[in-house]
Structure 1
Amino acid sequence: MLLVIPAIDIRGGRCVRLYQGSYERETVYFDDPVKMACLWRVQNARVLHVVDLDAARGQGHNREVIGAICRTVDIPIQVGGGVRTLEDIEALLQVGVYRVVLGTAAVREPELVSEAIARYGCSRVVVGIDARDGEVRVQGWTEGTGVDAVELALDMERRGVRRFVYTDISRDGTLEGPNVEMYRTLGLHLKKARITASGGVSGYRDLMRLQELEPYRVDSVIIGRALYENRFPCQQFWCWHDKENVDLTRFSTAPLKREIKLPTAE
């Protein structure tokens, strides 16, 4: 079963979404990311994906907010954005993050990935591949690298990476559907690692298309805008339409953090 992971992108302490990674095309969905995390938890989220957009561009960080999310909800939190040193990894793990996502560092300092996995394990360190037309981009998606996404994935897999978060930048925030062909291509090349899809999901039909990619090592999907804009019929039966009044302390029946085993490669 495909695991659905709500996304919380933080910029300036607020919960936002970008269109195709453009910081100039930002929509603020919620002023308090902690409350947003609680809302997704009430709606039965089992994992949350948090991106620190400020850290991704080297413009400070939101670790205090991220730490508050970790302390408030009882499910695992994975965090990406500006994680480029072992000290960054340690700092996030110390505030309660379950696992970190390395992006720019995987391209510019691949040995750091090897060292991080040796120190913390492949379940705590994953690699995010953010690509446009198959080319990996870094620094908060602002810079091209000339690196092929599949080649990067294969190198990272040899270094012990067992989970990739693959984001198609051209689809991210557009609701135009996921890049199914790219996920299939990547999955055909991988031998041990699994894939978390990200970018473009517009609704239920897209989830069904991704579910069919299980033989190609896709087992989870990160969703942002489609959830925030109430694109799934089941949300009508939850509390999104009255989010200001919902009891955010009344969590759902999802397993607690200590009971959850995140998807692995095995």
Structure 2
Amino acid sequence: MWPGWRWVVLMVNAVAALSPVVKIGAVFTEDARGGSTELAFKYAVYRINKERLLLPNSTLVYDIQYTPSRDTFKTYKKACAQIQSGAVALVSGVGPLLGNTLQHMSASLHAPHLTVGPFAPENLNNTFTINLYPPKDLLTKAFAEFLSYLNWTRMGVIYEDYGYGELNILDIAKDGRDMYAVRCRDAKEYRRGLALLKAQQIEHIVTEPALLYDAVQILCQALAITEDIHPGNVSCDKDTPSLHGKAIYDNINTVSSR
């Protein structure tokens, strides 16, 4: 996680002065409903709203939509409706196919789109999408350094692999650590996974990083330094873009590069 998350205090004056309610949209696939990515997103919003010193006069609210994993048309319509209904930005964790659909939608409406996944936007020169997923080699290196610092020699690993190999188990275990890996395909399997590790008397557990938690915090930092975050009169039917989306997108880039 980002160290010292209370630096989100930067957004107090800007957001609170502009709107008592700041709405963001989120899109997840049906098969990931209730999974770790969605829980990380909800927890980030919860933490921001709980710390009333950060947003004394504003509340961050979300609109979550679920879509079939390969239905690009329905995904486009649902996400577009979110922006049209007042969401100032969109976050997602839907994979490359639907991710590219959301990229095109966000570019058309000038709506900032944050995603986390091991894939890149198709057109980096015309996009409002920012992918916060770190390169695979850096992610593996970070895990290795973290485990070395903690001096864990025996541990369990719970991971969700949707075909992208987010957590490279073999690279992490190549130094001879005693490691038990459990794959959980959805949220319902986590209890089973924990029970398996408990049966092996595993005391230390490693899970995949909650990158969407960081995405929400970065978005809020960007909103803090944006002069106007009102969504304006956005139209999906006429492809009428947001008047302030470009400013928010530029500020997200500024914050995420720090």
- TM-score tier after normalising by the smaller chain length: 0.3 to 0.5
**TM-score normalized by structure 2?**
0.37
Larger Rg: 2
Greater relative CO (CA pairs within 8 A, separation 6+): 2
In proportion to residue count, which structure has more helix?
A: 2
